[in-house]
Amino acid sequence: MIIFLIGPGGVGKTTCGKLLAKKIGYELIDLDKIFQKKLGGIGRYIDQRGYRKYCYQNSKIFYSLLKANEKKSVFVLSSGFLVHKGLERLTTKHRLTINRHGLSVLLLPSRSRQQSTKIIVERQLSRALGLNKRREIRKIEERYDQYLKFGDIRIFSYAKPETIVNRVTKKLYSHPNFK
């Protein structure tokens, strides 16, 4: 069984993924971290080769990791992995693959688009990644409704990561498809 953590950047996928994997005894696979290890910084890659090339390269890495890790894993997916604007064919392929291979867990700080946007943008800007506030706001606002379509399990919380992971674990163990 593979657990896929999905949601925008800044919702705690990586932090919760580490805690969740440890708690349920699964391997952690962080797509962004592996991309960076193989090809360098994501921002630099996008600046040099373009967002579209990044999406396809990220997808290629995802499928190679998936093929090599069909066991019990927590996959932390990239923020736009299911919502690449203009790449609907690719995102549809990703969604179908995720549905076939495991359970997806959507993490969002709130059911409110406005509150989620505020929390996510504050977190992203605090990471000193050189991000543009307006662009980050626009990105979350454009993608928010799309994210709401996903997640076999949905967690809306900006509590401490340990609390979120406890909620995820409880929902996983009660989910009929969790093995």
* pLDDT tens string 131-162: 788 988 998 888 999 999 999 999 999 999 99
DSSP letter at 103? E
Answer yes or no: are the C-beta atoms of 73 and 2 closer than 8 Å.
yes
Q: How confident is the model at residue 129 (pLDDT cuts 50, 70, 90)?
A: low
- Give how many domains the chain has, as a whole number: 1
What is the reported pLDDT for 128?
63
Q: How confident is the model at residue 106 (pLDDT cuts 50, 70, 90)?
A: very high
Residue 178 lies in a domain: no
Q: Say how far apart CA 8 and CA 116 lie, in whole Å.
A: 10
* pLDDT surpassing 70 at residue 18: yes
Residue 50 lies in a domain: yes
The boundaries of the domain holding residue 98 are: 2-170
Residue 57 lies in a domain: yes
Average pLDDT over residues 4-30: 96
CATH number of the CATH domain containing 35 = 3.40.50.300
Residue 33 lies in a domain: yes
Residue 23 lies in a domain: yes
- How far from 163 is each of 38, 87, 101, 127, 169, CA to CA, in Å? 32, 35, 26, 22, 10
Nearest to 33 by CA among 47, 17, 14: 14
Q: And the tokens for 83?
A: 């919502």
Reported pTM: 0.93
Average pLDDT over residues 164-172: 98
